[in-house]
């Protein structure tokens, strides 16, 4: 009997090793593809979004010694700027250096998602979640752009991973780390705020419980873990103490309140559906994941579901406009729930198979269920991937020949490194190796329409910085009519391009011949 038991144990151990090796092999392939699409050609494409130029010039002017929220107008929390500035201080002021921290936090998102889904459910959940996120066009696009959404969701996913570890191990250090990561996520962008109310129900469960049905742990609650979480969340907030609270209140709160309304909740919901339907697999399986969370009452699934639902509610019901880049925060959450969905069904199939094996019954039901789930998942994923591949190829391999590079060369010829340029395409000035006035790092539609940037300020700054070149490129600054009149009166038009794009040079410095 002992020999038989020993043989069985050896067979079980051999199978575990084979499964682990297979998991590592498949995960490595997925992660390599995931990382390659984030890092390849990273500094080649001119621009993925207008906001890139805003954040690049903001980081550059901070490195030049100007203070955030004081001389530099900044409507977002500071962590993103710190990440970009740190990279630029080591790798130089170029597009690759600016984008690298975003790409790395995107990889962090994928790794954290895989580990969290694996821990909360099983290896299948981790691999499926990572595979679905790999082909998400929205998330890939902003994983290569200097935007706050990817760092924000990366640290939020890290907070989720730590809270899952806390659920399973009941060690306060994980709760502390979750609080720390949550706070850093919010200081990257306020879109991470939902992670806090999503995590809080964990501390209402009983110690040792893995789901809300459990009776393990008696009446004791996770008070110690909650205190550790609050302490962890408080530490990064100390960053804000270096800034004037009046400036923070004005730029981080009042500015957003003054933005134009962004449409009705129904309109936003339809718009959000269009954005998210670019990854059908995540949308379909992630939606099923919400039901799975309610059925299983697994704490990890509940936290993931709450985070997604609160995030959607915030985007839909807050009065501010909804933009394409906001969907990048939801993509990893849907991918996580997709993985948990397939992992949960895989668990059910395994239980059915094991039960039928023990009772000597038919394994046909379990096999049929595995076949249905497997084929359905593969079909959905294949269709979703085939629709995404053209967009993914364009995101990864396009770029390098945009006309803005030629204009950047023109700017270099017209100005010296210590001269100032005003432009509503700050990325162009950044690529040229030149500076915009720190007060004009942001010339967005929202800043102009909300009254935070007007004609008088723009004219004053053009005079105060003795600006040599002014560029109207994205249709933003041209809304300031008196400023445009001032420019036409004091500067010479040397170039007119498609869609009314114009370049002006101060009259006394203008070349005799214009540039077409």
- pLDDT value of residue 216: 54
Residue 20, judged by CB atoms within 10 A of its CB (0-12, 13-18, 19+), counts as: exposed
Helix, strand, coil % in the chain, rounded to nearest 5: 70, 5, 25
Instruction: Give residue-wise pLDDT tens across range 73-89.
Output: 999 999 999 999 999 99
Which range is least confidently modeled, 152-161, 258-267, 389-398, 470-479?
258-267
Q: Tokens standing for 374?
A: 């497997």
Beta bridge partners of 471: 423, 503
Residues contacting residue 459 through CB under 8 Å, at least 6 positions apart: 482, 483, 486
Q: How far apart, in Å, do the first and last CA atoms of the chain sit?
A: 91
- pLDDT value of residue 354: 73
* Reported pTM: 0.93
- pLDDT value of residue 513: 53
Mean local confidence (pLDDT), 436-456: 95
Confidence band of 218 (pLDDT split at 50, 70, 90): very low
Are 313 and 344 a contacting pair, CB within 8 Å?
no
B/e letters for 87-98, b = 16+ CB within 10 Å, e = fewer, are bbeeeebbbbbb
Query: 219 pLDDT exceeds 60?
Result: no
Instruction: Give residue-wise pLDDT tens across range 396-432.
Output: 998 888 889 999 999 999 999 999 999 999 999 999 9
Q: Where are the alpha helices (DSSP H) in 121-222?
A: 123-134, 137-143, 149-169, 172-188, 195-199
The crossing angle, in degrees rounded to 10, of helices 95-120 and 2-39 is: 160
Query: 516 pLDDT exceeds 50?
Result: no
More confident residue, 118 or 365: 118
- pLDDT value of residue 62: 97
* DSSP code per residue over 409-447: HHHHHH--TTSBEEES-HHHHHHTT-B--GGGS---HHH
% residues pLDDT > 90 (the chain)? 71
More confident residue, 117 or 206: 117
Are 120 and 22 a contacting pair, CB within 8 Å?
no
Are 471 and 503 a contacting pair, CB within 8 Å?
yes
Domains of the chain, by residue range, sit at: 2-39+75-340, 403-509
Instruction: Give residue-wise pLDDT tens across range 336-380.
Output: 999 999 999 888 888 777 777 666 555 677 778 778 888 888 888
């Amino acid at each position: 009997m002992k020999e038989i038991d020993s043989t069985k144990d050896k067979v079980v151990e051999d199978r575990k090793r084979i499964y682990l090796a297979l998991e590592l092999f498949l995960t490595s392939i997925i992660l390599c593809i995931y990382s390659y699409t984030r890092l390849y050609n990273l500094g080649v494409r001119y621009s993925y979004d207008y906001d890139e130029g805003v954040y690049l010039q903001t980081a550059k002017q901070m490195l030049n010694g100007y203070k955030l929220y004081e001389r530099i107008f900044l409507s977002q929390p500071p962590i993103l700027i710190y990440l970009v500035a740190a990279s630029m201080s080591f790798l130089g002021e170029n597009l690759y250096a600016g984008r690298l921290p975003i790409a790395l936090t995107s990889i962090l998102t994928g790794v954290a998602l895989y580990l969290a889904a694996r821990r909360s459910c099983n290896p299948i959940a981790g691999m499926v979640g990572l595979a679905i996120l790999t082909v998400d066009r929205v998330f890939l696009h902003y994983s290569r752009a200097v935007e706050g959404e990817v760092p924000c969701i990366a640290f939020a996913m890290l907070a989720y991973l730590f809270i899952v570890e806390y659920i399973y191990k009941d060690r306060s250090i994980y709760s502390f780390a979750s609080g720390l990561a949550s706070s850093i996520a919010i200081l990257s962008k306020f879109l991470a705020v939902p992670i806090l109310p999503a995590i809080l129900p964990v501390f209402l469960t009983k110690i040792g419980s893995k789901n809300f049905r459990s009776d393990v742990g008696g009446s004791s609650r996770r008070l110690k873990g909650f205190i550790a979480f609050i302490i962890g969340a408080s530490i990064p907030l100390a960053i804000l103490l270096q800034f004037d609270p009046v400036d923070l209140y004005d730029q981080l709160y009042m500015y957003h309140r003054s933005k134009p309304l962004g449409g009705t909740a129904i309109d936003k919901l339809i718009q959000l559906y269009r954005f998210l339907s670019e990854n059908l697999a995540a949308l379909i399986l992630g939606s099923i994941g919400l039901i799975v969370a309610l059925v299983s009452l697994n704490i990890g699934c509940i936290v993931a579901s709450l985070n997604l639902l609160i995030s959607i509610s915030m985007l839909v019901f807050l009065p501010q406009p909804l933009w394409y880049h906001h969907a990048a925060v939801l993509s990893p959450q849907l991918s996580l729930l997709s993985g948990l969905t397939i992992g949960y069904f895989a668990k059910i199939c395994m239980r059915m198979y094991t039960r039928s094996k023990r009772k000597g019954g038919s394994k046909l039901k379990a096999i049929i269920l595995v076949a249905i789930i497997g084929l359905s998942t593969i079909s959905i994923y294949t269709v979703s991937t085939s629709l995404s591949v053209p967009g993914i190829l364009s995101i990864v391999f396009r770029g390098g020949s945009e006309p803005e590079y030629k204009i950047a060369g023109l700017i270099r010829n017209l100005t010296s490194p210590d001269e100032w340029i005003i432009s509503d395409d700050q990325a162009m000035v950044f690529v040229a190796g030149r500076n915009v006035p720190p007060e004009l790092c942001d010339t967005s539609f929202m800043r102009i329409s909300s009254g935070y940037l007007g004609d008088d300020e723009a004219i004053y700054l053009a005079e105060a910085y003795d600006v040599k070149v002014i560029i109207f490129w994205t249709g933003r600054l041209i809304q300031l009519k008196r400023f445009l009149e001032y420019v036409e009166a004091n500067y010479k038009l040397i170039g007119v391009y498609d869609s009314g794009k114009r370049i002006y040079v101060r009259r006394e410095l203008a070349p005799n011949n214009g540039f077409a």
